[in-house]
C-alpha cells in the first residue's frame, strides 16, 4: 500500500492528535476545544484560518501558484451523546460523550492533509479545508451552506471521507449516485379520553389507537412502495400513561423515515400522515402530526466520484476501490454540500485483523489509527490530481 513516506513520517503525530481529540469529545455546536486545536495547528503551518463559520466551524485556506480552480475537503468534528465503554488510555474524559462515529479520525486526516500540502505545495490553485460542526445533531453542514460557505470559499468540487467498519483496511467504496439516505422524522400526538382500566368502553384508549397506528404505518413500505425502491419507517418511541390501571388521555409516538429517492421521500410525506389520521379517526381519537424534513440523501456526482476513485486507486490500487455498492440507509449532512457543489463522499475501510471492526455508534467503537496515513495520502493525491502544477499538467 503506497502510503507516502513523507506522510508516514508524521503518523505518530497524527495518532497523538486523534487520541487527544478522542479524549476530549464535544457535542455539536459546542466544539470549542476541538476547533481551537484545529485552528492552532493550521496556523502553525502557515494556513489562513477563518473561525466562526456556522458557530464553531473552521475553514483553512491554502493557496499556491496562479491556478483559479479550488477544491474543498470536509471533515466533521462533533461527538455523540453516549457513554464510552472502552478502557484504553485515550478513552473519553467527558462522561456521557464519546467519539463513536470516527469524527476524531476524519478531523485528524484532514489536518494531516493540510500539514502535508502546506509543506509540499505540489499543486496550483486553492484548497479549502472545511472543519464542520454538528453533523450528528441539527446539521452543521446545512448551516454552513445556508451561511454562505461556498460564496465565501468557492469550490469547483467538494469531497469528504467517512470511516467504514464493514470494509477492510486498504479498501474504499467510491460510488456514483445516492450512497446515504434522506432522514426525515415524525412525531404523532394522540388525544383520547382517559378513564378507569376496568371501564374501557367509556374511554378512548390512545395506547390501543397508537398500536393500530404502528401496525398500519408498516403497511406503507410493504404495500404502497414499489418493491424495487428503498424506504424504511422505524417508529422508535411510544410514550403513554403513568400507572397500570388508568387509561391515559394522551400518547406520543416518534420515529424516523429513510428514503433514497426524492419521489419516494415525497410519497412517504403524504402517505404516512394520511394513514395516521385515518387510523386515529376510525377509533374516535384526535391526532396531531409533526413531520420534519431532515438531511437529504447524499448523492455523489458521477464526475467527482470518478476523480476520487482515480486518486484512491493510486494509493490503494485499482483492486482496493469498490465502484458498485448498495447505498446505506444511514444519513449524513455532507448531502447539503454535495447539493450545492459537485461532490463525493469516500467510504474508507478501517477493519484490521485485530481492531477497527466495531460498528460506529457503538460504545466500544474506536477509530483505527492505522488508517490515518492512508487517508492523508488519498487526500494529497486527490488535490494534486485536481490542481496540477503547470509542469505536471
Percent of the chain with pLDDT over 90: 98
* Separation of alpha carbons 393 and 391, rounded Å: 6
Coil, strand or helix: which one is 53?
A: strand
DSSP state of 327: P
Contact 304, 157 (CB under 8 A): yes
Cα separation of 313 and 89, whole Å? 35
pLDDT tier, 1 (very low <50, low <70, confident <90, very high otherwise): low
How far does CA 112 lie from the centroid of its chain? 20
pLDDT-derived band of residue 18, with 50, 70 and 90 as boundaries? Answer: very high
Give tens-digit pLDDT for 32-69: 999 999 999 999 999 999 999 999 999 999 999 999 99
Please answer whether residues 254 and 188 qualify as being in contact, where contact means their C-beta atoms are separated by less than 8 angstroms. yes
Q: Write out the H or E segment, with its range, that includes residue 219.
A: helix 206-223
Q: How far apart are CA 32 and CA 35, in angstroms?
A: 5
pLDDT level of residue 14 (50, 70, 90 thresholds): very high
Task: Let me know how long the chain is.
Answer: 393
Q: Is 165 helix (H, G, I), strand (E, B) or coil?
A: strand
Closest C-alpha to 97, from 117, 112, 77: 77
Mean pLDDT value of segment 279-308: 98
Contacts of 375 (CB under 8 A, 6+ apart): 105, 109, 112, 113, 161, 348
Amino acid at each position: 500500500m503506497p502510503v507516502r513516506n513523507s506522510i508516514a513520517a508524521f503518523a505518530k503525530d497524527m495518532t497523538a492528535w486523534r487520541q487527544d481529540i478522542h479524549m476530549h469529545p464535544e457535542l455539536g455546536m459546542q466544539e470549542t476545544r476541538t476547533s481551537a486545536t484545529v485552528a492552532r495547528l493550521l496556523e502553525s503551518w502557515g494556513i489562513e484560518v477563518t473561525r466562526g463559520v456556522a458557530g464553531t466551524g473552521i475553514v483553512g485556506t491554502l493557496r499556491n501558484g496562479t491556478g483559479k480552480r479550488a477544491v474543498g475537503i470536509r471533515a466533521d468534528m462533533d461527538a455523540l451523546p453516549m457513554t464510552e465503554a472502552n478502557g484504553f488510555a485515550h478513552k473519553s474524559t467527558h462522561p456521557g460523550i464519546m467519539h463513536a462515529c470516527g469524527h476524531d479520525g476524519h478531523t485528524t486526516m484532514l489536518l494531516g492533509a493540510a500539514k502535508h500540502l502546506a509543506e509540499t505545495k505540489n499543486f496550483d490553485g486553492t484548497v479549502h479545508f472545511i472543519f464542520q460542526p454538528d453533523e450528528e445533531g441539527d446539521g452543521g453542514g446545512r448551516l454552513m451552506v445556508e451561511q454562505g460557505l461556498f460564496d465565501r470559499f468557492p469550490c469547483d468540487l467538494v469531497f469528504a471521507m467517512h470511516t467504514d467498519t464493514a470494509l477492510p483496511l486498504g479498501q474504499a467504496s467510491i460510488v456514483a449516485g445516492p450512497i446515504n439516505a434522506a432522514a426525515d422524522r415524525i412525531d404523532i400526538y394522540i388525544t383520547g379520553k382517559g378513564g378507569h382500566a376496568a371501564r374501557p368502553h367509556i374511554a378512548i384508549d390512545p395506547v390501543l389507537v397508537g398500536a393500530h397506528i404502528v401496525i398500519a404505518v408498516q403497511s406503507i413500505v410493504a404495500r404502497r412502495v414499489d418493491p424495487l425502491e428503498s424506504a424504511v419507517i422505524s417508529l422508535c418511541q411510544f410514550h403513554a400513561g403513568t400507572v397500570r390501571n388508568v387509561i391515559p388521555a394522551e400518547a406520543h409516538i416518534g420515529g424516523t423515515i429513510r428514503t433514497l429517492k426524492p419521489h419516494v421521500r415525497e410519497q412517504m410525506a403524504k402517505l404516512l400522515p394520511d394513514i395516521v389520521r385515518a387510523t386515529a379517526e376510525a377509533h374516535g381519537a384526535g391526532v396531531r402530526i409533526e413531520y420534519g424534513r431532515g438531511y437529504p440523501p447524499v448523492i455523489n456526482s458521477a464526475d467527482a466520484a470518478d476523480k476520487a476513485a482515480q486518486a484512491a486507486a493510486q494509493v490503494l490500487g485499482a483492486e482496493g476501490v469498490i465502484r458498485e455498492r448498495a447505498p446505506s440507509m444511514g444519513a449524513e449532512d455532507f448531502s447539503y454540500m454535495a447539493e450545492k457543489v459537485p461532490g463525493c463522499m469516500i467510504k474508507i475501510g478501517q477493519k484490521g485483523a485485530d481492531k477497527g471492526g466495531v460498528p460506529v455508534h457503538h460504545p466500544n467503537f474506536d477509530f483505527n489509527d492505522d488508517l490515518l496515513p492512508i487517508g492523508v495520502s488519498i487526500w494529497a493525491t486527490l488535490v494534486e490530481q485536481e490542481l496540477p502544477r503547470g509542469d505536471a499538467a
